[in-house]
Structure 1
Amino acid sequence: MEKEKIALIEAIIFASKGISIQKLSELTNIDQDEINKIIKHLYSKYNNNSESGIELKNIDGYLKFYTKKQYSSYIEKVVKRRSLSTLTNQQLEIVILLATKKEATKKEIDGIRGKDSTNILKQLLYSGVIKRKKSGRSYIYGLTETFKEETLIEELIEELGGAQLDTFRSKNSSPQNNGKR
């Protein structure tokens, strides 16, 4: 491996808010097999090194540098962290749904929750927790990058072993009895 290529990949990952191996390959014209070797090298350079305060993580296919957990109490003094405890249970329900599913329409959110989410979505939009983008006649909602960075919610869900959504709570998903009793 060339030192220059290692430094280039390292710099791009550092500057990004999370980047895929495919995107790294497109940006650098380095094939994905070589990038994988470089990533392995960077893992050992940072993750297995007690002299480094950062580590490289791959969360849902996106590579990003994070500070190591043992330094979190110091980092919190420097970097503003948003606490999940400031959210209501209803807001947290939607946040976890979006952290797990990545994005969803209001109809999907309502279907999973089994109730209307209009006011809660407005609150989350106003407070900068979620964002929305127009898609046809509806909006697609997702968590803002700032919120994800401030709470490390994706990392938390991964540490807890992921999350499974109960998509069968919606009244519309119950089987029809076709008038039979």
Structure 2
Amino acid sequence: MILVNSNPATIMTDTHIADKVYMEPLTLEYVAKIIRYERPDAIVPGLGGQTGLNLAVQLAKKGILRECQVEILGTSFESIEQAEDRELFKELCESLGEPVLPSEVANSVEEAVVIAGKIGYPVVLRPAFTLGGTGGGFADDEQELRELMRHALSLSPVHQVLVEKSIKGYKEIEYEVMRDHNDTAI
């Protein structure tokens, strides 16, 4: 087992846990070099949190996983992308008959202003491919939207932000579902 981590203080870098440990920046360039050199059979991006998932998507999109015949264990590339891409996730929910709030994806501040004008204020901004809502926030007017949007776009690695009608004050119910390859779910 090979482990790549940029944090020397974590227990995951203990050489008793992995056969080989790389202390390198968690970037596409470094991870691709390691994969090309080590030729692993598979990677487990879920163990790397949001950074691991983002890297898996980048590696798949750049063709590195296919080139090196590396399989993704755990959540598939398609599922990661569908969960992280706000527009794809919205389309999935709609296809399943799940209600969704009015929203659209913006790739610029000006697009966000137009979208907010259509769906009405207040709005919530949700940058794509960010950890735990990083860079998101609520905007009650155009001035707040412009400020938040500039920040949100800078944090999204794909420069994509979902502009969604705000339902601030509602209670949120969150579900965690795990499913294995045999379709067993809990």
TM-score, structure 2 as length reference: 0.29
Structure with the larger RCO, 1 or 2 (CA within 8 Å, 6+ apart): 1
Higher helix share: 1
Between Structure 1 and Structure 2, whose CA radius of gyration is higher? 1
TM-score, structure 1 as length reference: 0.29
